[in-house]
Chains A and B, each alone.
Chain A
């Protein structure tokens, strides 16, 4: 009988610990800067789109979920900085596996994967993101952790700063966050 009680000692000890639950909608855990979430198309500072409709991202996509239809830039009112622009640019988020190959493939840094992951919709059609949706800033931003710590490669840091200071000083023994 005593054995049976002893078997539960670990469980009992857990009763007195602080819960690890995060109250999600109220508390939004920051993601790491390399996190790959919702896509975003970018513009140059002068307002022209970076995307030139080369379809390289569509060729790289393993899930075949990007559709690009390019067109010649009109003489009046250019859309993109290159010769052509993407007349139609669609990503089917229902198929996307968030591998980030489109980001890797794009030679003009026109598409990147952002931090937002709350993408659920009621209908499947709403998951086909058009160019306007991708160019617009997402409504609610997911916070991100320090880029310097979690994105810059170790060796680059060593090279640039000539040092490698340790960040263990903060909270060395505690549970990982």
Chain B
């Protein structure tokens, strides 16, 4: 079939040029090369990404990314807000993997403070991090399949995503952007109805993921569109600083949940990453579907081993006092006033806290000058890094494959432009 004839090579030298060129120009001096715009308002570019592609017939010979359409100045905003208020900003960056943003932000503040988080809070955080991962991968699978021309999966995935969001609504009060993670723990304890509902969801999704696997693994049309398309060899992936599922699809064993012992409750749970071999578009889809399974396992492990105890640290300088104390204790009321109005002070220093979001390494670099607001926050968004490699990977592919490759890299533009 036609699959065999397709070019599966990266750009010829396989070298990462430094600095990475934002544009790859055509190597041919063919006068028929056509320049076309994909986006920023194109349904198949996720969010507002503009790709300027140079086409030789139907083959992509040059590509330029144009980013920044949804730049919201989140880093700068965080520097204007106290640490407590900043928690509401971060999830709006990577809006599909929202909870990991909150956790990473809180973890970096906790690291600066040297604050211990109770074990129960760590477990609850892991449950919700895995739920956002499920949410994000479900949307990825749904929209990704639309990019490849299959609309059915979109409806199935969005249906199941809503069940995941129901759990968020139950526990945190909001379906997305829950501001549930707080410095020192989580905002509220799990309600009584959570565990049975979560177990029900895990059972239900296990079943459904089996179906999705069937849809993408056994479907010959899907295989034809994805197998061997957009291959990223492992050494190239490492050179391009890819992370997360995109890296693991190339067979590199690197997952922050297990690397260096992991973080938070992942340290105790033990996790072994899902790896694929070929690094093509098919594998990038496959890895994410398998990761949904491992997410379900992790949620189940957390539910089984959920320790009892407080859900938030007991540090009155940093954590809001419990509500009932406001009416009885003057001291608590004063702490409450201080945290709400001027915020808590954080010792001077700088930290870098990377965590594994649904897209890869989500890094928080935070500098504190000892005041109640961060002096500088720099975020390392995984989508931004993933998009850098697209020009090299898509080079020499058909235009339709470019869309497939873009979908498989799973960029979220809010994350990328921040």
Contact = CB atoms under 8 A, between A and B. Distances in A.
A31 B196 CA distance: 18
A154 B194 contact: yes
A10 B211 contact: yes
Interface stretch (B1-9, B67-75, B336-344, B392-400): B336-344
B218 A7 contact: yes
B193 interface: yes
A149 B203 CA distance: 21
A36 B341 contact: no
B219 interface: yes
A137 interface: no
A62 B81 CA distance: 8
A21 B305 CA distance: 35
A98 B174 contact: yes
Nearest to A57: B340
Contacts of A9: 214
Contacts of A6: 218
A138 interface: no
Given A97-B177, A101-B88, A176-B163, A4 B337 contact: no
Given A6-B218, A152-B192, A176 B89 contact: no
Given A10-B214, A32-B169, A107-B333, A168 B192 contact: no
Interface string A46-59: 00000000001001
Centre residue among B174, B190, B341 by max chain A CB count within 10 A: B174
Interface string A8-40: 111100100000100000000001101110000
Given A32-B170, A34-B170, A168-B200, A97 B88 contact: yes
A20 B162 CA distance: 11
A42 to B, nearest CB: 15
Interface in A124-163: 146, 148-157
A67 to B, nearest CB: 16
A174 B219 CA distance: 28
Contacts of A175: 163, 204
Contacts of B179: 99-101
A154 B169 CA distance: 16
B171 interface: yes
B189 interface: yes
A104 interface: yes
Given A62-B89, A107-B336, A35 B222 contact: no
A175 B207 CA distance: 11
B187 to A, nearest CB: 8
Interface in B175-196: 177, 179, 188-196
A150 B170 contact: yes
Nearest to A153: B189
A20 B194 CA distance: 22
A112 B326 CA distance: 16
Interface residues of A, number: 49
A58 to B, nearest CB: 10
B16 interface: no
A156 B189 contact: yes
Contacts of B191: 34, 149-154
A31 B174 CA distance: 10
Given A62-B85, A154-B194, A35 B336 contact: no
Contacts of A56: 337, 340-341
A157 B192 contact: yes
Given A154-B189, A175-B204, A7 B221 contact: yes
A167 B163 CA distance: 18
A34 B163 contact: no
Contact of A59 (B88, B221, B340): B340
B159 interface: yes
A173 interface: yes
Contacts of A34: 169-173, 188, 191
Contact of B152 (A3, A11, A150, A153): A11
A110 interface: no
A59 B343 CA distance: 10
Contact of B193 (A36, A99, A149, A173): A149
Contact of B340 (A32, A35, A60, A98): A60
A6 B222 CA distance: 12
A67 B71 CA distance: 28
Contact of A62 (B88, B170, B197, B222): B88
7 contacts: A4-B220, A105-B336, A105-B340, A148-B192, A150-B194, A154-B190, A167-B193
Q: Which 10 pairs from chain A and chain B are nearest by CB?
A: A153-B189, A7-B219, A149-B193, A34-B173, A62-B85, A168-B196, A32-B170, A36-B173, A3-B220, A105-B340
Interface of A: 3-4, 6-11, 14, 20, 31-32, 34-36, 56, 59-60, 62, 97-101, 104-105, 107, 113, 146, 148-157, 164, 166-168, 172-177
Given A31-B169, A167-B193, 16 more contacts: A3-B220, A4-B221, A7-B221, A10-B211, A32-B169, A34-B169, A34-B171, A35-B169, A36-B173, A59-B341, A62-B85, A99-B179, A101-B85, A107-B333, A149-B191, A149-B193
